[in-house]
Structure formats: C-alpha cells, structure tokens
Structure 1
Amino acid sequence: MGYKTIVGLEIHVELSTKTKAFCGCENAYGREPNTCTCPVCLGLPGATPVLNKGAVERAIEIATAFHMRINHKSTFSRKNYFYPDLTKGYQITQTDEAVANDGYIEIETDDGPKKIGIHQIQLEEDTGKSLHTENGTTLMDYNRCGVPLVEIVSDPDMASGLEARLFLEKLRNTLRYLEVSDVKMEEGSLRCDVNVNIKNTETGERSAISEVKNLNSFRAVEKAIDYEVARQIELMEKGESELRATRRWDDAENKTVIMRVKYTASDYRFAPEGDLGPLFIDDEWIEKVRAGMAELPDVKIARFMDTYGLKEYDAKVICGSKKVADFYEEVAKHFTDYDMLSNWFMTEFLRRVEVTDEGEMNVPFEGKDFAYLLEQIKSGKINNNAGKKVFRKMCEEGEKPEAIIEEEGLVQIGDASEIEAMVKEVLAENPESVEQYKAGKDRVVGFLVGQVMKKSRGKANPQMANEMLVKFLKQ
C-alpha cells in the first residue's frame, strides 16, 4: 500500500518598511511595549487607515522574484474574529483579489529540479503580541499591531518535510537578497504554518488535513511534517479517521499536539474594507520598482559561474549568503586568480568564518587583506601551510597579514643554494631512504621533502625541495 504526502505552507513575512501598514507609527522590533502606537493601529473610533506605498512596492518585488502575475487591481477586506491581540476586532487583509497570483519557487531535489507553486501573496497587517507572565496574567504589547505583512500561500505541491524545508530556505534567502524583510523566525518576522495530509494511492482515500502551528525553525517544519505523515498513515492503516484539526509542534517531545478540532469551516465574515479603496498597480509602477530591485540569488549564481569560473556547487554555497557573496566580490577586486580564490573560500574561509542561519558573518579583516595574503602565497613569498597559519591568526585576532608574516618570520626560503644545502644534509642523514628510492620506492620522496621542511622550520619552498631531491636521488 502506497501513500502520497501532500503539504502546503502559509508563510507570514513582516516587511522592512519604516512605518506600519496603515499609519505613520515606527515599524521597529524591540521597542518598549506600546510606545509605537497611534489611534489608527489601536483601532480607536474615528481613526482611518492610509495604505503604505513602501509595503506595496516590497510586495511587487516579492511577486517579481517568484515569477508571479501582479494584478493591476486588488482589494482589501476585513477578516472578523475576536482575540485580545486584534485591536479593531478584525484584520485588514486581502482575499479573493490579492496583489499577485500564480508563481513558483524551484527547488533542487534528488530527482532533479522541482517547481513548487505559489497560489498568491496578499498584503495585510500584523496583530499585537501577548506576553504571558509567571503569575498567570497576560499582558498585551501593541507595537506589532499594524506592521505590514505579506502572506505567501503555496500550492500543496510539496511531498515531504525535506521539500518544505528546501522551499523555505530558498524563499528566505531570496527575501534576504531583496532586503524586504530580515526574515528572522526568532523575532517573528518570518512565521510559517503547515497544512499536511496523506492520500492512499491505491484507494484514493485522503486523511483529514492537520494545520500545524508553533514552528520556530525550518528544522521544526521538516520534523513536524514527517511526524504528521507517520501519525496519519498509522491512523489510516488502523481504519480510524479524525476531523480536520489545528495542532502545535512540541519541540521538547518532538511531536504534534492537538490544539482544537475544526467542527465547521472557519467563518471570518469577510467584508469589504470600507475605509480603503481598491489598489491599482499599473505597468509603469511595476517597471519602476523592478528597475531598482537587488540582484536575485539565482541570477548571482549564474553570474558567479560566468564571471569567476566557479563550479555550480561552489557558486551555490558562496551565494547562499549575500554577505559571503559580497565579500567574495570584494576580494576578487584585488585578486584575480579566481580558481585559487574559490578554493580558499570553500576550504579555509568557510571553515574559519562563522556564517549564521540568518546569513550574517563577522570578518575581522577587509577583502584587500585577504587578497594580499593570497598574493603572497601565489608569488611564492610564503608557502601554503604558512598561509593557513596567517589566515587563522587573521580570523582570531584581526591582525594584518603583512604584520603576521613579519612577526612569525614566515617568508619562504626560495634561494636555490640554501635549499640545496638542506637537501644534501637530509640525504646524508637518511641513507636508508636513498636505498629505498634506488629500489624503486618513489614514496620516500615525500618523507624526505618533509625532513627538508622540518629542517627549514617550514620556510623552504616545497616544490624546489622536491625537485632538488629527485635530481640528487637520480644521480
């Protein structure tokens, strides 16, 4: 008996505008509670909303990045429900006439590229935030109330937890490149709900959809989906059924927990937002926004492969963080051996420089300093091992490479007569290795090169040492 997993995502992204969606209050995280509020976002009588133009333009950028059809006309509605964090008793949002529809994000799976459809993105406002205290009371912070959001609704095209995680990673990186949001899950600027059910491929029977909330990481999204799939398969094989339900992810127990059963379809009594007219977006506005858009990840990857000759895998790793990609280009301005640069980035740089899940990194030196170090290695002034030692100290202490090379006395010995003298000493000290070479054991050359390097305290040019050793051994 086979089963097909069906997954769709609803993603809320807070937009990085200076002010809120429908008023002039500052859109900022971490301010003192209830200090970024006004009659409009508090829903006081007589206060009317005014749409934030910047929020619309960020939505246009997002729609463009995800290959969506931007609608020339969209409308706002009131989504009615009661909850303490909703000051007006309704949320201003979009429903049937949203800002954009019918897009996709392409992910890489083991079976090749796969397009995950995006049904629509809609502009709306965020709610306030409930703060639960230790003594059992709940306090309300309305600073977040009215912050502009886009809700990104995917098609149910994902077939596993892994595909959902890959989709979210691609989405987050794209939004980070666009700089339309800081997409930090821990701060609530990126939130994701999962809808998952299964289908028996032989009988066509489907399980009830579970909506999973309280997901605070992409790894939690993947684990929650995999858990739900296993749970629903077990129910179906037992012949049991359940109603559509909302569940939450328990990170400590690694399982989903029932929150509430949906006995009837949710009725939010959507009604037109009478204080906001239709939103009209013409082609001229769209083109103006697109002209100012940042370079997208896939475009940057292709450009890095073309300009710097990077392999596809290397380009994807380096462009996985905009900060890393920007630093690579800064170094490339001063050092044009791109093969060597790529090799050092993929090994030493990414091993020593921490890149966070948010794509942030802290490099205690400038791009031209890294370029200087690579130039010293390429020119033979220091050897590769010495270069790694210098780079480690640059990362740990932020010191200039030229100062480290001088302090440590790492300038490579390139004088032929000096290296020749050390080679002769090593051969005289290791007659048994000479005999082994004569007997056809070429591997002893590596050992002898190591002895020369040891005698020179790592300063000898290893290529010259190798060539001289082979020359004298053959004699």
Structure 2
Amino acid sequence: MTGELNYRKLGLKAGLEIHQQLNTKYKLFCKCSTEMKEKAPVSTIIRKLHPVASELGSTDVAAEFEYLRNRTFHYQVFKNESCLVEIDCEPPHELNPEALYITLQIAQLFNCEIPNELHILRKTVIDGSNTSGFQRTLIVGLNGHLNFKGKKIEITQITLEEDAAAIVSEENGKVSYRLNRLGIPLVEIDTGLLEGYSPTEIQEIAYIIGLLAKSTGKTKRGIGSIRQDVNISIKNGLRVEVKGVQELGLISKVIENEVKRQLSEKVKEETRVALPDGATKFMRPLPGADRMYPETDIPPVVVDKEYLEKIKEDLPEPWTKKLAQFKSKLKLSDQLANETLRSAHLDLFEKIIKTEKVEPAIVASTLTQTLKDLERKEQIVSISLTEKHFLAIFDALEKKKIAKEAIPEILIYFSKKPGNSISTAITDLNLTAISIPELKKIVKGIITQPNITLDRAIGIVMSKVRGKIEAQTVIKTVKKMFKP
C-alpha cells in the first residue's frame, strides 16, 4: 500500500491511555523504595496463576487466555524494594498520601471533577505481571479536558494504580519478573474518543498530556517511566488496543501501521503489543468489562474541600508559560526549548541556570543533544552521571577553568570514573583552559611555518587547544594574526 492515507475518510478513531510513574519515596501500598537501584535479587519465588469466576459466574476472556498458556512465573525479590505485600503474603498497607496528592494535582491540571470518596478496586490481571492476579487502582478524576488547537480533548478519567512487575525473560513457558517495579505509584490518564485527527495530531495530544503530568515536577523520568497504550479502529471495523508504546515519537507510526494492517487483514477485537519499529503483534484477546471488583482490604478515601483547595494553591505554572519563557527569557530555539521541557533533566536544567552564570543554551544542549549523541555512540552510560557531575562541570565553565568544547570529553570521563573530582578530570584529560596570550603564542608558532594556509593553520591550532578554549575564539584569533 503506497501513498498518503486519508484518515478522516477512513474514519480513524483512537483513544490514548498514558501511564506515568510518580516520583514518590515509597510504593503505593507499602514502605518499599521506588528507586530500583538494587541489581541482584535476594531470592526468587515461583507461582502459577488461575482465573476465578466473578460473582455473576463469568470468567474474563483475557484471563482465561493467559491461563491456557500454562506458564510458570518466577519473581525476583530485591532488598528494600520488595516485601510481603508485593508477593501477596500480606495485606496492602495504607494508601501512599504523597502519591494521592500528586495524582489529585494532575487531575486538577486536566480540569477533572474529583469524587468526594475514592474507592480502591481490583482489576483482574493474570499475565504474571502481578503476583496477586490483580492490580489495585482507584479513580481520582473524571470528565476533564485539555485544549488542543482550539478544541477540547476529553479526559474521561484519571486513575492512580500500582505499576506492574517488569519482565526479565521468557523461555519455554518460564517467565521471570522483577518485583522492584511492582507497586510503584502509576497515574493513568485516559482520553475520550479522538475522531477526525491524524496520527501526527494524536501524537501531539499525547505529548501535551505528558507535559502536563510532568509539570508537577513529581513524575519519574527515563526509560520505562512513561508508557502509552493506543486504542485504534477504522470505519466499520473493530477496536484494537496496542499496548506498550515506549517512545512518544513512535505513536504516529504505530497508528499508521495499524491502520494499514486493519485495511489489509480481517480484524478481531484484541490486544496487541507495540514493537520497536512501529509494527504490532498479537498479545491476547481484549479483556472484558467485568474484570473490576472492590478491594476489600482498604477502606475508601474521603477527599474534603479544604484538602483540594490546598492542592489547587500548589499547582505548577502552565507548561505553555514555561515554554514561552524558555524561548523569550532564556533565548532557546523552538526545538531546544521543547526538548528541554520534555527532558528527563528538566529540573536539573532549571537548577543549573539558577546557580551558575552560564549560557542557558549550552546547558540545555548538553542535557539533551550532547547526552543523546554520547549514549547513541555508546561512549557513556548516563545512569552513572549524577547531578553533582553536571553542577561541577558548569561551575568549572562559569569560572573559565574549561571551555564548553571540553564538556563531552569530561562527561565520558565521569561516566567511566564517577568518583573522581572535576579538577582531577581536567588534569587527567589535559583540558586546563588557556588564556588569550597563551593562545596567541601557539598561533604565532603555527602561522610562521612556511607555505601555511589559513585553513591549515586553523586546523593545526584547533587540534592543539581543543577543549581548552572556545573554537570561535581560536578561529577569530588565527584569522586576525594570519598574514598570507
């Protein structure tokens, strides 16, 4: 199939479910850490899960499908990051008040109605990602909206729930999961029917939803902290749910590919999983509507008006205002402003520009483009870089101890030797900044060579002083001193 598809004519309908981890100290129903720093499990438990009929005597079709796969689940337990609650050997503790506060903030940012009483529910899940066979969830906001190109996009509900265990491997009917992710507070933001929008516009809507949630400054960032599910159908077709779109920029491609698949194949109502290339593959049948039932171990949570007013007073500034400030006050380009706003290092960016007198564009490009480039080339592992490393680098830049061109080399150095100081890094890499007189002395020694050209002189000088002084200063100085 070739050519641009007319999505309006095809009757494209979509719905988004945006899942975002909250950056709380503890999990949703226990005091285990949410940091996921532990590498080695302290033990493993083994389970098989079975579906149970509801009070009406029916069994969820998705649960029945998972049961018939006859798989055994191995759960890795981690010190301080999983406990008896995660392995379903102890009732859940009290609902995490910090997680509820953040979710209520997010609900107000989306103009939602807040119920007076919040009821915790159990959602049947027996794919192995929950040891108990269900996920605890509570509806926090209803009937909200956001503005997009002059239209109101319906936000049907916002829920607070437990994140699932992270899958490690699957082979010959044995599935291994890590329990340190299970129970981390997760907010789910669901849109209403998105009809009359292109795949690119639907992706833009997902981007805005993510920005609003992140504007609280209390969401986790990085790989796996945000996941998107997309419900897709076309005219006279059936709904297909695509789960696990990890990259925001992949949403439009997933929709485009799924529409093409639905045009060329007989479609069944089913859940599919997104692949890294934007294609999808069958996962299981769509779950039924009767897989939710009350959680009997936790009482309802009452939300009073005074508490909501306190939250309202603590709401962050709109992301649109912050974006405008990045461009007008900080002089960031449109692209750099947008990249910074959705970066995992947004908070660090704002801290650095407040504490260090360095050009905001240098900080922004380092935390977005430079890091991505170095990670793509596998020159760094950014998880080993901490806030102190970046603060040290930009403090050295402000004090003219290094040139901005030295930043990538120092990041690579810190990635390999995170325990060393900035002064040690500068010495080991021979990146001590040089003065203009020192530069002129080097330039003089080069341009007096016989048959030297301007371009050749610039190249030689740059190779000698790279990272020790700004490139533009080198070029300007060589041009000024060069006499053909």
TM-score (norm 2): 0.64
Pair 1:60-2:67 in alignment: no
On the 8 A contact 2:339/2:368 being kept in 1, the answer is: no
Specify the alignment match of 2:192 in structure 1. Answer: 155
Amino acid at match of 1:283: K
Specify the alignment match of 1:209 in structure 2. Answer: 239
Q: How does 1:18-29 map to 2 (within 5 A)?
A: 18-24=25-31, 27=34, 29=36
Percent identity between the aligned chains? 23
Q: How does 1:39-438 map to 2 (within 5 A)?
A: 42=88, 47=91, 50-79=94-123, 90-94=134-138, 98-104=139-145, 116-126=153-163, 134-138=171-175, 146-157=183-194, 159-172=197-210, 174-176=212-214, 178-186=216-224, 189-199=225-235, 206-234=236-264, 242-251=267-276, 255-261=279-285, 266-268=288-290, 270-291=292-313, 297-305=319-327, 307-321=329-343, 323=345, 326-327=348-349, 330-331=352-353, 333-335=355-357, 341-342=359-360, 344-345=362-363, 352-354=370-372, 362=385, 367=391, 370=394, 373=397, 387=403, 389-391=405-407, 393-397=409-413, 410-413=434-437
Amino acid at match of 2:83: T
Distance 2:132 2:458 in 1: 80
On the 8 A contact 1:66/1:105 being kept in 2, the answer is: yes
On the 8 A contact 2:153/2:192 being kept in 1, the answer is: yes
On the 8 A contact 2:86/2:131 being kept in 1, the answer is: no
Change over 3 Å in CA distance of 1:103–1:394 after alignment to 2: same
* Structure 1: runs of 5+ lacking an equivalent: 200-205, 236-240, 378-385, 431-446
Change over 3 Å in CA distance of 1:114–1:40 after alignment to 2: same
Distance 1:139 1:24 in 2: 24
Amino acid at match of 1:59: T
How far 1:307 moved relative to its partner? 4.0
Max Rg structure: 1
TM-score (norm 1): 0.65
Secondary structure, counterpart of 1:99 in structure 2? strand
Specify the alignment match of 1:441 in structure 2. Answer: none
Change over 3 Å in CA distance of 1:463–1:144 after alignment to 2: closer
CA displacement, residues 237-287 of structure 1 (integer Å, 9 cap, x when unaligned): xxxx644222233557x633334455xx81426444444443322232123
How far 1:228 moved relative to its partner? 0.9
CA displacement, residues 184-230 of structure 1 (integer Å, 9 cap, x when unaligned): 554xx53432210123xxxxxx3211112354444554433211111
Secondary structure, counterpart of 1:8 in structure 2? strand
Aligned residues: 416
Amino acid at match of 2:103: A
How far 1:100 moved relative to its partner? 0.8
On the 8 A contact 2:397/2:403 being kept in 1, the answer is: yes
CA displacement, residues 72-110 of structure 1 (integer Å, 9 cap, x when unaligned): 33333344576665555554434xxx3112334567xxx
Change over 3 Å in CA distance of 1:103–1:216 after alignment to 2: same
Change over 3 Å in CA distance of 1:346–1:218 after alignment to 2: closer
How far 1:153 moved relative to its partner? 1.2
CA RMSD of superposed structures (Å): 5.1
Distance 1:361 1:403 in 2: 21
* Structure 2: runs of 5+ lacking an equivalent: 1-5, 43-75, 415-421
On the 8 A contact 1:9/1:154 being kept in 2, the answer is: yes
How far 1:302 moved relative to its partner? 3.4
Secondary structure, counterpart of 2:28 in structure 1? coil
Secondary structure, counterpart of 2:342 in structure 1? coil
Amino acid at match of 2:338: K
Distance 2:357 2:167 in 1: 52
On the 8 A contact 2:86/2:179 being kept in 1, the answer is: no
How far 1:120 moved relative to its partner? 1.0
Distance 2:404 2:189 in 1: 45
Secondary structure, counterpart of 1:50 in structure 2? coil
Secondary structure, counterpart of 1:308 in structure 2? coil
On the 8 A contact 1:74/1:99 being kept in 2, the answer is: yes
Distance 2:273 2:458 in 1: 64
Pair 1:7-2:14 in alignment: yes
Change over 3 Å in CA distance of 1:463–1:291 after alignment to 2: same
Change over 3 Å in CA distance of 1:261–1:323 after alignment to 2: closer
